[in-house]
Protein backbone atom coordinates (compact mmCIF):
# COMPACT_ATOMS: atom_id res chain seq x y z
CA UNK A 1 0.00 0.00 0.00
CA UNK A 2 1.49 3.31 -1.07
CA UNK A 3 1.33 6.15 1.38
CA UNK A 4 -0.14 9.43 0.28
CA UNK A 5 1.54 11.83 2.67
CA UNK A 6 0.98 15.44 1.69
CA UNK A 7 4.21 17.23 0.78
CA UNK A 8 6.20 14.04 0.43
CA UNK A 9 7.20 12.76 -2.99
CA UNK A 10 6.36 9.08 -3.02
CA UNK A 11 8.92 8.36 -5.75
CA UNK A 12 11.84 9.37 -3.53
CA UNK A 13 11.72 7.41 -0.32
CA UNK A 14 8.82 4.95 -0.49
CA UNK A 15 10.80 2.61 -2.76
CA UNK A 16 13.90 0.62 -1.88
CA UNK A 17 17.20 2.05 -3.13
CA UNK A 18 17.97 -0.51 -5.81
CA UNK A 19 14.52 -0.16 -7.42
CA UNK A 20 14.68 3.63 -7.36
CA UNK A 21 18.10 3.76 -9.03
CA UNK A 22 17.28 1.06 -11.59
CA UNK A 23 14.11 2.93 -12.60
CA UNK A 24 16.32 5.84 -13.73
CA UNK A 25 19.06 3.86 -15.47
CA UNK A 26 17.43 3.97 -18.93
CA UNK A 27 17.09 7.76 -18.73
CA UNK A 28 20.75 7.96 -17.67
CA UNK A 29 21.90 5.75 -20.55
CA UNK A 30 19.82 7.54 -23.20
CA UNK A 31 21.16 10.92 -22.05
CA UNK A 32 24.70 9.58 -22.02
CA UNK A 33 24.34 8.14 -25.54
CA UNK A 34 22.84 11.40 -26.77
CA UNK A 35 25.60 13.50 -25.26
CA UNK A 36 28.26 11.23 -26.78
CA UNK A 37 26.67 11.52 -30.22
CA UNK A 38 26.29 15.28 -29.90
CA UNK A 39 29.88 15.69 -28.66
CA UNK A 40 31.16 13.66 -31.62
CA UNK A 41 29.13 15.75 -34.07
CA UNK A 42 30.36 18.94 -32.40
CA UNK A 43 33.99 17.80 -32.60
CA UNK A 44 33.65 17.00 -36.31
CA UNK A 45 31.92 20.34 -36.93
CA UNK A 46 34.68 22.22 -35.11
CA UNK A 47 37.32 20.45 -37.19
CA UNK A 48 35.53 21.32 -40.43
CA UNK A 49 35.08 24.94 -39.27
CA UNK A 50 38.86 25.22 -38.88
CA UNK A 51 39.45 23.67 -42.31
CA UNK A 52 40.82 20.39 -40.95
CA UNK A 53 40.32 17.18 -42.92
CA UNK A 54 38.51 14.74 -40.68
CA UNK A 55 38.13 11.92 -43.20
CA UNK A 56 39.60 11.27 -46.63
CA UNK A 57 36.78 9.04 -47.85
CA UNK A 58 33.29 7.84 -46.98
CA UNK A 59 34.73 4.47 -45.95
CA UNK A 60 37.12 6.17 -43.57
CA UNK A 61 34.26 8.22 -42.11
CA UNK A 62 32.16 5.10 -41.54
CA UNK A 63 35.08 3.15 -40.10
CA UNK A 64 36.15 5.91 -37.73
CA UNK A 65 32.58 6.57 -36.61
CA UNK A 66 31.94 2.87 -35.94
CA UNK A 67 35.24 2.50 -34.06
CA UNK A 68 34.58 5.56 -31.90
CA UNK A 69 30.99 4.44 -31.33
CA UNK A 70 32.17 1.03 -30.13
CA UNK A 71 34.75 2.69 -27.90
CA UNK A 72 32.04 4.94 -26.46
CA UNK A 73 29.94 1.86 -25.66
CA UNK A 74 32.85 0.65 -23.52
CA UNK A 75 32.96 4.06 -21.83
CA UNK A 76 29.21 3.80 -21.20
CA UNK A 77 29.81 0.41 -19.60
CA UNK A 78 32.31 1.99 -17.22
CA UNK A 79 29.84 4.81 -16.55
CA UNK A 80 27.20 2.22 -15.67
CA UNK A 81 29.59 0.64 -13.19
CA UNK A 82 30.12 4.09 -11.67
CA UNK A 83 26.32 4.49 -11.61
CA UNK A 84 26.29 1.75 -8.98
CA UNK A 85 27.91 4.23 -6.60
CA UNK A 86 24.44 5.76 -6.14
CA UNK A 87 22.68 2.77 -4.55
CA UNK A 88 25.90 1.60 -2.91
CA UNK A 89 26.50 4.99 -1.33
CA UNK A 90 22.89 5.11 -0.17
CA UNK A 91 23.20 1.70 1.47
CA UNK A 92 26.48 2.59 3.16
CA UNK A 93 25.63 6.15 4.25
CA UNK A 94 21.99 5.53 5.18
CA UNK A 95 21.03 9.20 4.86
CA UNK A 96 18.24 10.58 7.02
CA UNK A 97 16.56 12.25 4.07
CA UNK A 98 16.67 9.46 1.52
CA UNK A 99 14.69 11.42 -1.06
CA UNK A 100 17.06 14.38 -1.00
CA UNK A 101 20.09 12.10 -1.16
CA UNK A 102 18.70 10.26 -4.17
CA UNK A 103 17.74 13.41 -6.06
CA UNK A 104 21.07 15.14 -5.37
CA UNK A 105 23.29 12.12 -6.01
CA UNK A 106 21.44 11.28 -9.22
CA UNK A 107 21.60 14.88 -10.46
CA UNK A 108 25.34 15.17 -9.77
CA UNK A 109 26.11 11.85 -11.47
CA UNK A 110 23.74 12.50 -14.36
CA UNK A 111 24.98 15.98 -15.24
CA UNK A 112 28.62 15.07 -14.64
CA UNK A 113 28.31 12.07 -16.95
CA UNK A 114 26.43 14.02 -19.62
CA UNK A 115 29.00 16.85 -19.54
CA UNK A 116 32.08 14.62 -19.68
CA UNK A 117 31.93 13.73 -23.40
CA UNK A 118 32.03 17.44 -24.25
CA UNK A 119 35.62 17.60 -23.03
CA UNK A 120 36.64 16.07 -26.37
CA UNK A 121 35.30 18.91 -28.58
CA UNK A 122 36.50 21.44 -26.01
CA UNK A 123 40.05 20.08 -26.17
CA UNK A 124 39.79 19.83 -29.96
CA UNK A 125 38.66 23.46 -30.12
CA UNK A 126 41.47 24.63 -27.82
CA UNK A 127 44.03 22.70 -29.86
CA UNK A 128 42.78 24.11 -33.17
CA UNK A 129 42.63 27.69 -31.83
CA UNK A 130 46.15 27.47 -30.43
CA UNK A 131 47.54 26.11 -33.72
CA UNK A 132 45.66 28.59 -35.88
CA UNK A 133 46.87 31.61 -33.91
CA UNK A 134 50.51 30.58 -33.89
CA UNK A 135 50.98 29.78 -30.17
96-120 pLDDT, tens digit per residue, is 999 999 999 999 999 999 999 999 9
This prediction has a pTM of 0.82
Q: Is the pLDDT of residue 135 over 70?
A: no
**pLDDT for residue 134:** 62
* Alpha helices in 50-118, H assignment, sequence order: 58-83, 85-93, 98-115
pLDDT at 12: 66
Cα–Cα distance for residue pair 84/113, rounded to 1 Å: 13
Residue 65: partners with Cβ closer than 8 Å, 6 or more residues away = 40
Over residues 13-38, mean pLDDT: 94
Alpha carbon 24 to its chain's center:
13
CA–CA separation, 80 vs 96, rounded Å? 26
Amino acid sequence: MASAVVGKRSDDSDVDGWTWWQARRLTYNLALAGSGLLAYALSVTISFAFGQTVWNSAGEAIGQTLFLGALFLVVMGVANLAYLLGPTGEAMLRPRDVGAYRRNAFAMGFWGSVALPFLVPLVNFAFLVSHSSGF
